[in-house]
Structure formats: structure tokens, C-alpha cells
Amino acid sequence: MTKRRRWTDELVIEEIKRIYSNEEPLSPRYINRNYGGLYRQAYNRFGSWRQAVELVTSLDYEDVLTCKRWTKDLVVEAIKERIDNGLSLTAGVLVNEDKRLHDASCTHFGSWRNAVTAAGFNYDIVLDEGNLRRSKKCTKYTVDDVKSFICERYAQGKRLSSGYISSEFRHMAHAAQYRFGGWKEAITYAGVPYEDVREDESANLAGHLFEDLLGNLFNDLCISYTKYEHEKWRPDFILSKEHWIDAKLSEWTSSIPTTIQNYEPHVRRLTIVYMRGRNHACSLSDKTEIVSVYQLLEYLNEERRSYYLERIQEIENKINTSEIGSHSHKETA
């Protein structure tokens, strides 16, 4: 007698991953015809086949419906077509304009960089184009614009620390860097005493650096995401409406319980990725898991893993230097 399968959410997800890894179609018609039990369970547990597929994979559902199958040759052809049409090859632009091509590139070449290189283009030149595009955004803010922004917030008693502005007003922070060489120089130019607005920014700076590093790591791992798009909360990375990721410097960061309390009501899955702490992954609740960034590095090749280990060490050095400086200041005070 055949043992009856006991379905769970996890088993549904594993089955979808297995079918996807076997390069079988994921269209609802194909699945319903060949895996009827899975299709019904996905519908019952996740609300629709589409939601289940988007939760498990980074596929564009329009490709799923049409059973479009990318190949390496089609990816290379699409990249060359973008060049012929004068379109950008930077990853940030591509994710917004043609996410399907980006995902297919990661699937067949391991990363967008590798796909661009395979198409015969120098990726460093592509990166230079992205830097130029960002610098042009900065130029729309004049010296007076930056000064007025600072003076108005200072007069209103609002926060002006570098860490806060970099998080909440990134274009203005970039403009200050472009126009003055840094946020401190912009504050000084505006006639505001820097000590009046300075906060203990070592943790803030390190936090932003780690968040940026994690975003680049997700790109290398072909994990698609958006940022800061919820109407109320600001998770660092949104993989889907059902799955959010937040970056923390430490496994023991005091804000983790608050993050869980605020975010869990809005998602089916919450992942917290941290830098400092034990190299492990574990569940904190039915919805929340906590994962060391070092666990994610295991999925990279040796060259990219070494790159990220160096970047993490740089962040650690910044934190350690600040902690030593703070301790010395207290001793001599």
C-alpha cells in the first residue's frame, strides 16, 4: 500500500524547487496536469499558484504562463539588443526595465556581470556608466539647495546626522558628497556647528555599510529584491509581499525583538541577516529566522567569497576603531 503524503508548506516549497531545478515548466496548466496534488496544495496554502511560485523562485510570472525558456544564447542576444537600442546595462536599471533578462542571466551565467562579459562587453565600463548616472542625479541639487536643506532642518530641530541623512535622504547625502566632498563639510558651509548635529555614528555608518554589502551579495546570489516600498515600515529588502529581510550588525542587536514585533504581522516569512555573532542559522518564531551572513557566503565561489570577507573585515575594523576611541575618550575624560 502506497504511503499517503502528508503535505506541509515546506513540502510544497521543496516540490516547486525540485521541479524548477529539473527545468520543467511551472505553468499552472502543466502543473495541474502532471502534479495535481501539488497544485491544489499550493492553492490552498498560499492562495494561488502564482503566489507559491513567486515565493519560491525569482521568475517573472509572465514567463511562467508562456513557458518561456531562456538559453545562454537568448540571454547574450538580449544583452546585445539592449546595446543596439542604446539601453543601459547597469544592474540597477536592468532590474527595473527587464527583470526577466536579469533573472535569466543569473540562472544561466551565475551573475549579471558574467552574462555581460559573455556577451563581449567590459563590465567595469558598465559600472562606470552607473556611477556617472548617479553623479548626474546629484548635480540637480545646487550648493544653495544643500545649504537650504541643512538650515531648514536645523531651524526646525530635526535630525541632521550623517547616518540619518544617508538613510532617509540619500540623494541629498550624495549631493553633499558631490558638491562639498562630504556631509561634515556641507554642514560647516551652512554655518551649523557640526557638534550640534553629530550623533554616535559608528554603528549607523557600519550598519549602512553592511546593508549595502548585503544588497551586493544578494545581486551576486541572483536574489531579486526591492527596498523600502511598504506604506508604513521600511524593511531593508523586500523579496516579495510575503518575505522581508532585515540587516543587523549583530546577532544580539537590541532592536531585533522590535523588528519582529513590527514586521511579522505583515509577512509569512521574515529573515534577519546579521554580521557579528555565531556562524549559524536558526528559527526565532514560526515566521522569523536569523541567519549569519557567513552562511550566505558559502554559496559563492572562492574569489567572490574572499572579496566579501575583506569587505566585512573593513566594517569590523571601523567598528573596533570607534569602540577603542570611545573607550580611550572615557578614560581620559
Mean pLDDT for 48-56 is 81
Mean pLDDT for 32-50 is 83
**One-letter amino acid identity for 230?**
H
Confidence (pLDDT) at 294:
95
Residue bearing the bigger pLDDT, 244 or 99: 244
For 250, the grid coordinates are 549583530
Residue with cell 550623533: 199
**One-letter amino acid identity for 117?**
T
For 119, the grid coordinates are 556577451
Mean pLDDT for 170-191 is 86
Closest to 216 in 3D by CA, of 233, 231, 201, 236: 236
Q: Does 68 have pLDDT greater than 90?
A: no
| Global model pTM greater than 0.75 | no
Span of 9-13, 64-68, 105-109, 214-218 with lowest mean pLDDT:
64-68
Taken in order 152, 154, 157, 161, the sign of the CA dihedral is positive
The 10s digit of each residue's pLDDT in 84-137 is 777 778 777 777 777 778 777 877 787 888 888 898 888 777 666 655 555 555
CA distances from residue 5 to 2, 8, 37 in whole angstroms, order as listed: 9, 9, 10
Closest to 249 in 3D by CA, of 310, 213, 203: 203
Mean pLDDT, the chain, whole residue set = 79
